[in-house]
Amino acid sequence: MDLTIINPYGSVFKRFALHGDVPKRELKQSLELFDSYCRLTYFDCDEINGYLVASEKQINEYMKEVALENALIPYESDFLKMIMAKGKSTELTIINTAIENESDNENTNNPLDNYYDNVLESFDDVDADTFADLKDYEEKQAIKRLLKMYKLGGTSSDHEENVFFRISDIRRHYSKYKAYKNIDNVQSLIHRLVKKGYIDSIEYQDGKQSIYYLTEQCNDIAIPFELTDEDRELAEDFLKKVGVVK
């Protein structure tokens, strides 16, 4: 369709693209897809001073029905929501490892370091500032301690928080759940979710088992999309900048 539709919601798409593996490419693809959606639903556009402008209805419906729903296959979404366990005793902490590229923010700490540091502080006979300084046998002890303190569903008296999990932990807690039974190969699913950015692993292993955690991208499926006042202000500023409104 030979229509020019102005999209004032670039800030929204930038926010979601930042979680992707290739942000610039994903931003471009998302903007093109939204433009196609707006052309198909042009009758829902706002008409402002003779211009067609993407409306709040269109951005809300697009994010709800297209962008967020299609980011995950339904059984992937069900599996993630199951292990996130919002509001339950086995709820997993979501780790925000995103680092903003700000010139005055050079000393940003990796949130995982807080857990590593707490483990090291619990050892009286280990002289190391980081896990990288540990000897092989000390590293094995440290990983065991990390899991004792922070693994999913830990029952030790030292357990503090549900942060990390292995595939065996998922199987132990959720093998009877429908969302688990719907998966033919849990390990393959975990690998796909790692690739999509919803799950990540630490660089250390427990024997041959990888140790995983949930990333901030999981917030996108836990919290329904909602256009914020800041989004609206940025949209209004954009329309003024391009001369649609004065």
> Do 27 and 57 have their domain in common?
yes
Instruction: State the residue range of the domain holding 49.
Output: 5-71
Among the candidates 71, 94, 128, a domain finishes at 71
Are 143 and 50 in a shared domain?
A: no
Domain boundary (45, 71, 97) is at 71
Please indicate, yes or no, whether residues 18 and 106 belong to a single structural domain of this protein.
no
Answer whether residue 113 is part of any domain: yes
| Structural domain total, the chain | 2
- Model pLDDT for residues 87-103, shown as the tens digit of each residue: 999 999 999 876 444 44
Site of tokens 């979680």: 19
Residues 112 and 56 in one domain: no
Residue 88 covered by a domain: yes
pLDDT range class, residue 21, cuts 50, 70, 90: low
| Residue 57 counted as domain residue | yes
Tokens of 121: 């502080």
In a domain, 158, yes or no: yes
The answer to whether residues 87 and 121 belong to one domain is yes
Do both 58 and 108 map to the same domain? no
Report the candidate in 19, 43, 58, 44 with the shortest Cα–Cα distance to residue 199: 19
**Residue 67: its pLDDT value, please?**
67
Task: Please indicate, yes or no, whether residues 39 and 148 belong to a single structural domain of this protein.
Answer: no
Position 245 in a domain: no
Residue 204 and residue 119: Cα distance in Å, rounded?
14
Give 152-166 pLDDT, tens digit per residue: 999 989 999 999 999
Same domain, 87 and 146: yes
At 125, the amino acid letter reads: D
Lowest mean pLDDT among 19-28, 137-146, 156-165: 19-28
pLDDT at 30: 86
Residues 67 and 151 in one domain: no
> H or E stretch including 193?
helix 186-196
Q: For the full predicted model, state whether its pTM sits above 0.75.
A: no
Exposure class string for 75-101: b at 16+ Cβ within 10 A, else e: ebbbbbebbbbeeeebebebbeeeeee
